[in-house]
Structure 1
Amino acid sequence: MSHKNFPMVPRVIFGRGSFNQLNEILAPKRLNIDAPFIFLIDDVFKGNTDLTSRISLSYDDRIIFISADEEPKTSQVDKLVEDIILNTKERPSGIIGIGGGTLLDLAKAVSIMLTNDGDSKSYQGWDLVKNPAVYHVGIPTISGTGAEVSRTTVLTGPDRKLGINSDYTPFDQVILDSDLTIGVPHEQWFYTGMDCYIHCIESLSGSYLNTFSQSYGDMAFELCQEVFLDNNLSEMESREKLMMASWHGGMSIAYSQVGVAHAMSYGLAYLLGTKHGIGNCLVFDHLEEFYPEGVKLFKQMKEKHNIILPKGICANLNDNDFDVMINIALGLTPLWENALGKNWQKIITKEKLKALYQKI
């Protein structure tokens, strides 16, 4: 049996104010004056000079503000890559993603597509990327997705929602500065944090579980419980712990897989554009049958933080719509296998999935 040989993020800097070291980290990585650094930044920071004034732009360096209102798409990656190629004299020295999971995934995908031919939808899947990406840096400004540490970049393509899973996907450098997560709106903080919590539940109860995944998953699970249920944490501790929960949650997936909530959430995202964090919560709320303890705890967290999930988002869908979501979800074989074992197709039928979607 051969074991997977996974890459890790080789360099990470953690601590409040560590964002201030970005310029000195990038300086030695500049290839030459015609090879710029491109900063892809969540447009909520547009006009936020506290963040942008700390980035020194030299030569042809550029900041591109990007809205994270929608999940990242393959077409969006291709447009960004084309824009960068047409407007730079040489291949960029590096791509720096600053934002939540959407921006981090875009930064990973763009850095891959600058060195690989064709369009990004051809690389959705496992280990299809041929050439190493350009140098890329991830700087999360909200915690939970684990995108800062994972070897995938999840994209919605013309036919499916699926990651570019490859050894070239992980960032070369990550900066974890919890001060950047100050001011995240309460609901968004909760939904994104729950992405991490649900990672843990799905990974820890899955058939792919092993000691490597479990050690990271246990740690992330404990941190999530502290952040979302402990009344004695200061704001600052809560931010730092959630940032580490996200990191550990992302690491636990490296050697295992997620499960039912993620598979179904991909269907919602593909058809309705539902954001990943909230999609996971909408689905997970109805998964007592698969994750009884995890769902019970989730409902406690939801109540404690006064979160009321949207209702009836599948109320007006027709049979064709349900089929689209069901087919997207069922296409994610490794997730079902992890959740329900090798005979998963006997347990989860199209009818059963439809009934679950109808509750949402």
Structure 2
Amino acid sequence: MTFKNFPMVSNVVFGRGSFNQLEDLIAPKRKGRHAPFIYYVDDVFKGNHWLTARIPLAYKDKIIYIPTLEEPKTEQIDQLVEDIILEFSESPSGIIGIGGGIVMDIAKAVSLMLTNKGDARDYQGWDLIKNPAIYHVGIPTLSGTGAEVSRTTILTGPERKLGINSDYTPFDQVVLDPELTKDVPKDQWFYTGMDCFVHCVESLQGTYLNAFSQSYGEKAFDMCKEIFLSDELSTEDAQDKLMMASWHGGMSIAYSQVGVAHAMSYGLGYLLGIKHGIGNCIVFDHLEDYYPEGVALFKQMKAKHNIELPTGVCADMHDDDMQKMIDVSLELEPLWENALGKQWKTIMTREKLEDLYRKM
């Protein structure tokens, strides 16, 4: 039997105010005054000097603000890579993503595509990347996605929504500063937090479960229950714990897989443009038959925080679009196998999947 040799994030710093150490952390990686650090920053921080004034710009370093109304597309990655190649005479010293899962996925994807020829869509899938990425750093300003620790980027291509899954994808450096999450709107806090919760449920109930993923998943699961159902935590404690739950949840699926909710959420994202966090919530709300205890807890959390999810998003979908959405979802075979076992194709038929989608 061959065991998975999983690459972990090489360096991580955690703590309130640790963002202020960024200059010291990246300085040894600077290759010269003509090799810039490129900062991809969530455009919600444009004009927010509390954060942007602390970005340690020098020489030809550049901040590029990233709109996050839509999840990243492969052609967007290709354009960002081309922009760098055309503007700078030398390859960047590094790519630094500051934001939620979208921005961190873009940072990972660009760092990979700077060293691998072709288009981003050519690498959607598992272990297609051949060359190591350039130095890249992840700094989450949302907690829950696990993007800061995962070997995946979520990308929508012309034919599919599928990540670049590679041993070269994980960040070389991660900065976990819970202070950076202080202004997250409540709904967004819930959706990304539930992404973490669903990671844990799907990992812990999956057929790929092992002691490695279980140890991380159980810890993150317990922290999610404390954060979203307890009244005992201070705001700062909740921020600290959710950032660590996100890390542990991401580690849990790194050595296993996610399941039904994520597979179906990818379909919603591809056809309807529904963002990953809220998409997981919309789907998971209807998965009592697959994750009864997890869904019951999710409904408690949703009620406690007065969250209203969109309804009827698929009810009137044209049949051609529905069939495409089913295709996108069923293409994610490792997710289905983890959820339902090796005979999953006999369990999750196209008809059953369409019936689930029509309820949403």
TM-score range, shorter chain: over 0.9
Secondary structure (helix, strand or coil) at the match of 1:98 reads strand
Partner of 1:276 in structure 2? 276
Aligned-residue offset at 1:315? 2.3
User: Which AA in structure 1 matches 2:80?
Assistant: L
User: Which AA in structure 1 matches 2:342?
Assistant: K
Partner of 1:323 in structure 2? 323
User: Which AA in structure 2 matches 1:135?
Assistant: Y
Does 1:16 pair with 2:16? yes
- Cα deviation 1:265-303 (Å, max 9, x = unaligned): 000000001000000000000000000000000000000
Partner of 2:60 in structure 1? 60
Superposed CA RMSD:
0.6
Alignment of 1:238-317 (within 5 A): 238-317=238-317
User: Which AA in structure 2 matches 1:169?
Assistant: T
Partner of 1:213 in structure 2? 213
Secondary structure (helix, strand or coil) at the match of 2:162 reads strand
Unpaired segments ≥5 residues, structure 2: none
Alignment of 1:26-65 (within 5 A): 26-65=26-65
Does 1:189 pair with 2:197? no
Alignment of 1:93-104 (within 5 A): 93-104=93-104
Partner of 1:232 in structure 2? 232
* Counterpart-to-counterpart distance in 1, 2:351 and 2:10: 45
* Counterpart-to-counterpart distance in 2, 1:195 and 1:57: 33
Secondary structure (helix, strand or coil) at the match of 2:323 reads helix
Secondary structure (helix, strand or coil) at the match of 1:155 reads coil
TM-score by length of 2: 0.99
Secondary structure (helix, strand or coil) at the match of 1:156 reads coil
* Counterpart-to-counterpart distance in 1, 2:236 and 2:273: 32
* Counterpart-to-counterpart distance in 2, 1:56 and 1:210: 41
* Counterpart-to-counterpart distance in 2, 1:293 and 1:25: 42
Secondary structure (helix, strand or coil) at the match of 2:33 reads coil
Aligned-residue offset at 1:63? 0.2
Alignment of 1:71-220 (within 5 A): 71-220=71-220
- Cα deviation 1:149-182 (Å, max 9, x = unaligned): 0011110111101111111100000000000000
Secondary structure (helix, strand or coil) at the match of 2:152 reads coil
* Counterpart-to-counterpart distance in 2, 1:262 and 1:105: 16
Secondary structure (helix, strand or coil) at the match of 2:289 reads coil
Secondary structure (helix, strand or coil) at the match of 2:40 reads strand
Aligned-residue offset at 1:79? 0.5
User: Which AA in structure 2 matches 1:230?
Assistant: S
* Counterpart-to-counterpart distance in 2, 1:171 and 1:56: 19
Q: Percent identity?
A: 70
Unpaired segments ≥5 residues, structure 1: none
User: Which AA in structure 2 matches 1:24?
Assistant: D
